[in-house]
Every structure is written in C-alpha cells, then in structure tokens.
C-alpha cells in the first residue's frame, strides 16, 4: 500500500518450514525473497512484452498521433537502424530491476476475514496446514525494508512506499507505445526509473492473478 492511512496495523505471513518460522521469531528478523523465487505466474519477473508487438512502425504511428511535435526528434534520435538497440536498452533496464528486486509477501485482514482462517492459504503456503503463520506489525516491517535498503546502499525510488496493496487481474497489461516513447525520449538514463516504464514495473509488482482473490 502506498497511502499511510490505509495501511493495516498488522500483516501476516505463512511459513511452510516451521524451523524457518521459529528462527524468524527467535532472531526477530525477516528474509526478503528475490523475485525469481516467487511462485505466482504474475509475480514480478519483469518480462518484456509490448502491446504493439515491438513493431517500430506502430510505435511511430502512436507518436505521430499523440506527439506530433516530437516526431522528427524521435526519428533523429531513434531511426529504424537503431530500433534493435532501443529495445535492448529497455531489456537491460528491466533486467537490472529484476536482479535487484526482493519482496516479502504478506496478507492482511480484510473486513472480517483474517488470513489465519483461510484454508486455501494454509494449504498452499502453510505446508498442507502443518506450517506457521506469523503476525507482524506493519510499521516495523516498513522500517525493516528501509534499513535493508540503507544497508545495501541502494538508492531505491519510493522506499517510503515499500508496502503496497495487491491488485488482482486476469493479466498484466504490457508496455504500451506511450511507455516506450517516454522511456526512449528521456535524455537522462538515471531519470528513466520515473518514466512510464516504471509504472509498468509497478504493475508487475502489485498485481496477482485473479485466481488468488479470496
């Protein structure tokens, strides 16, 4: 979640490995999981997919219609001969984000539904009802994320929004022509995290398959 007043007071995490759960309690620490180790088809692998099939001509059509004043500038900066390199830069940005992204998935109370009473969650994440569920203070988890970020000397954007609410959908919308245009027109590579491609990355982070909606 990104809005402080919507954050739940407590969050729950299921552990299938009881030794791991007891170690978490005894040492009062949590382990963030790399995104490649997650198990949902929608979990953030940051795969590269565009809504226009990577076609240069379709991207130009969009620019002509929506950014006619920038059309010549884009053509000069990214001619057809450089299109493969342009796609490679986006791939590289997504790969960089993938390598440095870790998560700590949790569940929260929704209305009168508490995760500890969810048999589906116990069956899938609780080692067939033989695991443990731990309830964490949300504020402490946020501080943990900030401390881990600082210890790694990362300049992660939006670290204050380390906790966010999951959305559910049938599929994640791919990169649009506008996403790609904004990314490639950025003159400063360091600012590209704030571009439209960053919103695509955010979608992959906070979207799970509709099948998981309880």
Residue 33 phi, psi dihedral angles, 5° rounding: -100, 135
Quick one: pLDDT at residue 75?
96
Q: Which residues of the chain have pLDDT under 50?
A: 1-4, 157, 159, 193
Structure confidence at residue 1 (pLDDT):
38
The pLDDT score that the predictor gives to residue 39 is 67
Contacts with 14 (C-beta within 8 Å, 6 or more apart), sequence order: 107, 115, 121, 122, 125, 126, 131, 132, 133
The count of structural domains within the chain is 1
Residue 158: predicted pLDDT: 52
pLDDT at 160: 53
Contact 198, 156 (CB under 8 A): no
Q: Which domain holds residue 8?
A: 4-212
What per-residue confidence (pLDDT) applies to 34?
Answer: 84
Q: What is the pLDDT of residue 20?
A: 93
Residue 142: the pLDDT is 83
For 177, phi then psi, to 5°, come to -55, -35
**Token pair for residue 66?**
């929506």
Burial 136-167 (b: 16+ CB within 10 A, else e): bebeebbebbeebbeeeeeebeeeeebbeebe
Q: Which helix (H) or strand (E) holds 207?
A: strand 207-209
Residue 105: the pLDDT is 86
Lookup: tokens for 113 = 């539904």
Helices (H), the chain: 18-27, 56-66, 71-77, 83-99, 119-125, 138-151, 177-185, 196-206
Summarize pLDDT for 176-205 with one digit per residue, the tens.
Answer: 999 999 999 986 655 554 577 877 887 888
* Pick from 200, 182, 178, 201: nearest CA to 191: 182
In DSSP notation, 58-86 reads HHHHHHHHH-GGGHHHHHHHS-GGGHHHH
């Amino acid at each position: 979640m990104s809005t402080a007043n919507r954050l739940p007071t407590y969050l729950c995490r299921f552990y299938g490995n009881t030794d791991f759960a007891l170690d978490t309690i005894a040492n009062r620490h949590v382990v963030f999981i790399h995104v490649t180790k997650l198990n949902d088809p929608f979990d953030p692998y940051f795969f590269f997919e565009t809504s226009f099939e990577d076609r240069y001509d379709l991207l130009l059509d969009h620019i002509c219609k929506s950014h006619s004043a920038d059309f010549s500038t884009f053509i000069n900066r990214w001619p057809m001969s450089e299109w493969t390199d342009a796609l490679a830069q986006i791939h590289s940005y997504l790969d960089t984000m993938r390598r440095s992204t870790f998560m700590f998935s949790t569940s929260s109370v929704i209305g009168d539904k508490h995760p500890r009473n969810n048999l589906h969650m116990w069956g899938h994440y609780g080692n067939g009802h033989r695991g443990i569920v731990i309830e964490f203070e949300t504020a402490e988890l946020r501080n943990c994320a900030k401390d881990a970020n600082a210890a790694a000397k990362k300049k992660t954007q939006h670290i204050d929004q380390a906790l966010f609410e999951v959305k559910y959908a049938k599929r994640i919308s791919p990169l649009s022509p506008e996403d790609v245009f904004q990314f490639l027109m950025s003159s400063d590579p360091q600012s590209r995290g704030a571009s439209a491609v960053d919103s695509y990355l955010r979608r992959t982070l906070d979207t799970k398959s509709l099948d998981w909606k309880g």
